[in-house]
Amino acid sequence: MKKIILTFVFIIFLAKLFAQNETPAISDTSSTLVAAEGQEAEAFYNQGIEEFKTRNYQGSIESFNKAIELNPSFSKAYFNRGAVYVELNNSQSAYSDFSKTIELDPQMGIAYFSRALLKFKENDFTTAQKDLLSAISASYENEKVHYYLGVTYFQQEKYAEAENAFTKSIQLDNQFAFAYNDRASARRQQNKLTEAIADYKSATEKAPSIALIHNNLGSALKQNGDFKAAVEAYQKAVSLQTDYYIAFNNMGSAYFELENYEKAAENFKKATEIKPDYAFAFNNLGTALLKQEKYAEAALIFDKAIALDPNYGFAYFNRGSAKEMLRLPKEACDNWQKAYELGVKSAENLASDCK
């Protein structure tokens, strides 16, 4: 979060988007669906693939089971059975099968990739990263492998490495909107705002109907001081997703910077209506009301922010300002003292002056 006048707090929503819920696909890596005479394991394997195609997942598992019973070293059968377990949301069994695949065939890169995706579901980005790097070492490379690798670096706050991985993803697929979006976020973390804005714009061109990307573009423009363009981006975001409370809050902050406090308050209020427990938006609404000299109304709004988050130091600080303007010095001092106790350093002098 960042702080502007009146300790006005706003949210920048940095997308660490996944392109989609990836699942490893059933694939016949043996290059044939015709089992040679006497090759019973291959016959059951091929049958498992056909049953998967008709979504007969239990039948598919039973066929792969038989293939493995006949040939315990049948790595492709383990891999494809793992893929079926993914479809059944049985991550533990899927992970076990992908691990067995890797044990039997350390060069099957797709197994590392598939196992990495399971770790993503658990937010275990460190383990996922190791598997993604192993997939690449095993010559399994595509735009999604590098995209997910970039996400793991981003989650570890290694933004330069994340940027490089997203760049590789874009080189492999220059229409991959999510890679542009996330490279922009990595660049933004490195304060490369011009490049970040260009990437967000590229992402919106390739995926114009995704509200999140327009919101991210707005936040980068706002961070770069182009508040009017930021408002336009946020307006596009909320037109695509009418309950997007974060975009309404962010649009309010852009209007606040433009000193259009009425429009700022309107957007902050909309955010609170959509999400009534959004303490940040209540605090921001209060600051916009303070700017309009609506001190009593602002104090009530800060009350709501504090009720939602009793440890919200900035809300106490701002409520103190409202109380001061209402000629309630003791209440103002109490709020500033509380804000200071909660870590708002700018409240220290005000609280000291009260003594």
Sequence-distant (6+) residues with CB within 8 A of 170 are 143, 176, 179, 180, 183
345 domain-assigned: yes
Which of 140, 171, 192 is at the close of a domain? Answer: 140
Q: What percent of the chain has pLDDT over 90?
A: 83
Average pLDDT, the chain: 89
pLDDT for the residue numbered 256: 97
Q: Which residues form the domain of 290?
A: 277-355
What are residue 4's phi and psi, to 5 degrees? Answer: -130, -160
Give pTM, 2 decimals.
0.84
27 domain-assigned: no
Instruction: Give pLDDT tens digits for 65-113.
Output: 999 999 999 999 999 999 999 999 999 999 999 999 999 999 999 999 9
User: Interior CA angle at 72 toward 70 and 75, to 5°?
Assistant: 115
Instruction: Give pLDDT tens digits for 217-244.
Output: 999 999 999 999 999 999 999 999 999 9
316 domain-assigned: yes
159 domain-assigned: no
Alpha carbon distance 136, 145 (integer Å): 8
101 domain-assigned: yes
204 domain-assigned: no
Alpha carbon distance 227, 260 (integer Å): 11
CATH number at residue 128: 1.25.40.10
Structural domains of the chain, count: 2
60 domain-assigned: yes
How much is the average pLDDT of 197-210? 97
Question: Per-residue confidence at 6, pLDDT binned at 50, 70, 90?
Answer: very low
Which of 140, 165, 182 is at the close of a domain? Answer: 140
287 domain-assigned: yes
How much is the average pLDDT of 134-146? 95
Q: Which residue has the higher pLDDT, 265 or 9?
A: 265
Q: What type of residue sits at position 153?
A: Y
